[in-house]
């Protein structure tokens, strides 16, 4: 029994959207999602909306009603979610629960975010905004940034398992290749290992191309109950599991450190709900905010043994055509990372892949996909299992 | 790590950030030790994460440890220096994030050496342990 079904999916191209309001930007993802399903605004019972940083970066809050009003949903209940980079995955979790509980029948879920310098803040200002997800009192004063968080995790992983800079660079090269096949990716260009190593350092071991970009963008999915899904125009896909867990703050006190315990707990919960094991995952969209983060994620999801994530990417096992393609969309790395839109954008990719509609980046005949959306210093992780109908 | 060397203003249980920060500015690195399970924390909590006990006694943390992980941050937030190194320091009973002043690597010994400051909030600073 599916927990809920996705009957509509839409997203903007990720990149720069400096001339639109957040609500206008969201409309560019939400209306295609409704059109995909053949559903009008009058059929939508609620909006679950994600945005992370606009309260700080744009002095813009209470975004749910603003987004709803833009797309003809004024009047429906709406709420705004903020869980750092896992924002719209947690929105999805709650929307699924609302459908299961009979609270709502049709829920639009999505997010919109603007992080590029063109749309507001310079790099050092936006670095400060991102760092607000770290502990205000025990990490920000030390100067920890988000590249810094994943640099600490990755350097420890390199120390414990021998993960190499070449393996990290291969994550970037692979995801840029995938992104070159995705017309909505912010970075559509291929890169080489030399491009990665020649780029400026951000926080060692990460050079510029080890890091996802600042992005503007929006994404949306339309969720309904499994039974109602067949009455829409599109081919539905089923959400069969969503696991959600938190890790300790500050990062230094997380007992497992490189294991990213929250991701493992979330994955175990999602797989149990879907009654699958990691070996049944055909492909995954994971939170590759930094190259090292993808390697940690593939291990936390159980796609590879601990310490094997680096060799796996170097051997092409996670590339399109490999045994378990990871981030066929290009991932955060190449597709882009408009924070509050990333979680549902992963689900848009899963939907298109499972429908066989992903074009040049199509994974070969997948039936089961997993999304791994991480927030903060690995302090929130949501893992979602989406499957094609038999 | 002992309770009897804690400044008078921090003695007992119920360490809060304000007192932790005051002590850090005074050159004292405070933490907590759970009365029930002896779990040690470098950053104050209301409840022990290991056993859910609420009797967390304020203690002085060890002032020397070993670099558990580190990175040099080159792109920094508005209001901070252009380049600095941070480390997760393994103090033995717990780990703590700190600024480090020297070029240190995983496994290097480091010692507590005061504090850095950002937006009026202090954070611990460590340096490489002097050799010889």
Cβ of B69 and A250 within 8 Å? no
- Distance (Å) from the C-alpha of residue B80 to the closest C-alpha of chain A? 7
> Over pLDDT 90: what percentage of chain A?
94
Q: Which of A120, A132, A143 to mutate to test the interface with B (most CBs of B within 10 A)?
A: A143
Distance CA A163, CA A311 (A): 8
A17, A85, A157, A244: the active-site residue: A85
Nearest to A143 among B43, B49, B118 (CB): B118
The two three-digit tokens of residue A51, written as one number: 């945005």
Cβ of A200 and B74 within 8 Å? yes
Cβ of A251 and B97 within 8 Å? yes
Q: Which of A209, A131, A375, A380 is nearest to B97 (CA)?
A: A131
ipTM score of complex? 0.96
Residue B131 has pLDDT above 90, yes or no: no
Q: Which long-range contacts (CB under 8 A, 24 or more apart) does A189-196 make?
A: A193/A166, A193/A169, A196/A168, A196/A169, A196/A172
Q: Chain A partners of B124 at a C-beta cutoff of 8 Å? A: 142
A337 is catalytic: yes
Cβ of B78 and A124 within 8 Å? yes
Residue-wise pLDDT for A225-279, tens only, equals 999 999 999 999 999 999 999 998 999 999 889 999 999 999 999 999 999 999 9
Distance CA A350, CA A361 (A): 12
Residue-wise pLDDT for A143-183, tens only, equals 999 999 999 999 999 999 999 999 999 999 999 999 999 99
Angle among Cα A300, A330, A111 to the nearest 5 degrees reads 80
Q: Which of B97, B104, B108, B113 to mutate to test the interface with A (most CBs of A within 10 A)?
A: B97
Residue-wise pLDDT for B32-51, tens only, equals 999 999 999 999 999 999 99
CA dihedral A254, B31, B106, A138 (to 10 degrees): 70
E-strand spans in A28-166? 46-50, 78-81, 106-114
Question: Secondary structure of B54-93 in the HEC alphabet?
Answer: CCEEEEECCCEEEEEEEEEECCCCCCCCCCEEEEEEECCC
**B63: how many CB neighbours lie within 10 A of its CB?**
16
Residue B4 has pLDDT above 70, yes or no: no
Closest alpha carbon within chain B to A201? B74
Peptide bond into A386 cis (omega under 30): no
**Chain length of chain A:** 390
Residue B78 has pLDDT above 60, yes or no: yes
Distance CA B93, CA A278 (A): 35
Please report which confidence band the pLDDT of residue B130 belongs to, taking 50, 70 and 90 as the band edges. confident
Burial class (CB in 10 A: 0-12, 13-18, 19+), A64: buried
Nearest to B95 among A142, A151, A253 (CB): A253
Please report which confidence band the pLDDT of residue B132 belongs to, taking 50, 70 and 90 as the band edges. low
Q: Chain B partners of A147 at a C-beta cutoff of 8 Å? A: 73, 75
- Distance (Å) from the C-alpha of residue A116 to the closest C-alpha of chain B? 15
Residues 56-95 of B with CB under 8 A from A: 68-81, 84, 86, 88-89, 94-95
A94, A207, A337, A372: the active-site residue: A337
- Distance (Å) from the C-alpha of residue B20 to the closest C-alpha of chain A? 10
The two three-digit tokens of residue A96, written as one number: 């699924």
Q: Chain A partners of B97 at a C-beta cutoff of 8 Å? A: 138-139, 142, 144, 250-252
Average pLDDT score over residue span A271-298: 98
pTM for this predicted structure: 0.97
Cβ of B71 and A128 within 8 Å? no
Q: Which residue has the tokens 């051997």?
A: A315
Cβ of A148 and B74 within 8 Å? no
- Strand partners of residue B96: B89
Burial class (CB in 10 A: 0-12, 13-18, 19+), A72: middle
- Distance (Å) from the C-alpha of residue A257 to the closest C-alpha of chain B? 10
Is residue B118 within 8 angstroms of chain A, CB to CB? yes
Distance CA A215, CA B120 (A): 30
pLDDT for residue A248: 86
Distance CA A347, CA A355 (A): 12
Is residue B98 within 8 angstroms of chain A, CB to CB? yes
* Exposure class string for A151-178: b at 16+ Cβ within 10 A, else e: bbbbbbbbeebebebebbbbbbbbbbbb
8 A C-beta contact, residue A266 and residue A382: yes
Q: Chain B partners of A131 at a C-beta cutoff of 8 Å? A: 77
Q: Distance of CA B52 to CAs A131, B14, B17, B107, Å? A: 29, 14, 20, 32
pLDDT for residue B92: 97
8 A C-beta contact, residue A246 and residue A380: yes
- Distance (Å) from the C-alpha of residue A17 to the closest C-alpha of chain B? 23
Residue A40 has pLDDT above 80, yes or no: yes
Q: Distance of CA A129 to CAs A57, A76, A120, Å? A: 7, 31, 12
Average pLDDT score over residue span A7-14: 98
Q: Which of A232, A286, A247 is nearest to A8 (CA)?
A: A232
């Amino acid at each position: 029994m599916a927990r809920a079904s996705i009957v509509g999916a839409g997203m903007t191209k990720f990149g720069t959207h400096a001339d639109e309001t957040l609500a206008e930007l969201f409309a560019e993802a939400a209306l295609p999602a409704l059109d995909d399903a053949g559903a009008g605004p009058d059929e939508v019972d609620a909006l679950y909306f994600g945005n992370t940083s606009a309260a700080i970066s744009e002095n813009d809050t209470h975004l749910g009603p603003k987004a709803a009003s833009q797309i003809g949903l004024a009047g429906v209940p709406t709420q705004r979610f903020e869980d750092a980079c896992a924002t719209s995955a947690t929105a999805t979790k709650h929307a699924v629960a609302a459908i299961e509980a009979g609270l709502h029948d049709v829920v639009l879920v999505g997010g919109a975010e603007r992080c590029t310098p063109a749309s507001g803040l310079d790099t050092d200002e936006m670095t400060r905004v991102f760092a607000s997800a770290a502990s205000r009192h025990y990490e920000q004063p030390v100067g920890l940034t988000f590249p810094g968080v994943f640099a600490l995790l990755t350097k420890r992983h390199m120390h414990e398992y021998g993960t190499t800079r070449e393996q990290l660079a291969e994550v970037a090269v692979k995801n840029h290749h995938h992104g070159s096949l995705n017309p909505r990716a912010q970075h559509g260009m291929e890169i080489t290992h030399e491009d990665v190593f020649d780029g400026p350092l951000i926080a060692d071991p990460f050079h510029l191309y080890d890091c996802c970009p600042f992005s503007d963008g929006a994404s949306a999915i339309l969720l309904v109950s499994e039974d109602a899904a067949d009455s829409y125009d599109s081919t539905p896909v089923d959400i069969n599991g969503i696991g959600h867990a938190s890790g300790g703050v500050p990062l230094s006190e997380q007992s497992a450190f490189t294991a990213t315990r929250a991701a493992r707990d979330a994955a175990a919960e999602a797989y149990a709900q879907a009654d699958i094991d990691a070996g049944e995952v055909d492909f995954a969209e994971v939170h590759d905010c930094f190259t090292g983060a993808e390697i940690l994620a593939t291990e936390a999801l159980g796609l590879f043994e601990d310490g094997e994530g680096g060799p796996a990417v170097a051997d092409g096992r996670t590339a399109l055509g490999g045994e378990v393609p990871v981030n066929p969309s290009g991932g955060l790395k190449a597709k882009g990372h408009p924070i509050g839109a990333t979680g549902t954008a992963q689900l848009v990719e899963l939907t298109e892949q499972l429908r066989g509609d992903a074009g040049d980046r199509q994974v070969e005949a997948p039936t089961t996909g997993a999304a791994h959306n991480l927030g903060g210093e690995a302090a929130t992780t949501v893992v979602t299992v989406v499957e094609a109908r038999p | 790590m002992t309770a009897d060397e804690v400044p008078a203003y921090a003695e007992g249980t119920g360490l809060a950030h304000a007192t932790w920060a005051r002590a850090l500015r005074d050159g004292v690195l405070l933490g907590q030790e759970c009365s029930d399970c002896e779990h040690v924390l470098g950053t104050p909590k209301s409840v022990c994460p290991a056993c859910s006990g609420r009797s967390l006694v304020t203690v002085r943390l060890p002032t020397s440890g070993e670099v558990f992980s580190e990175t040099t941050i080159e792109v920094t937030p508005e209001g901070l220096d252009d380049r600095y190194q941070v480390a997760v320091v393994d103090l033995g009973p717990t780990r703590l994030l700190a600024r480090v002043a020297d070029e240190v690597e995983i496994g290097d010994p480091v010692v507590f050496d005061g504090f850095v400051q950002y937006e009026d909030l202090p954070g611990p600073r460590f340096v490489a342990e002097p050799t010889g």
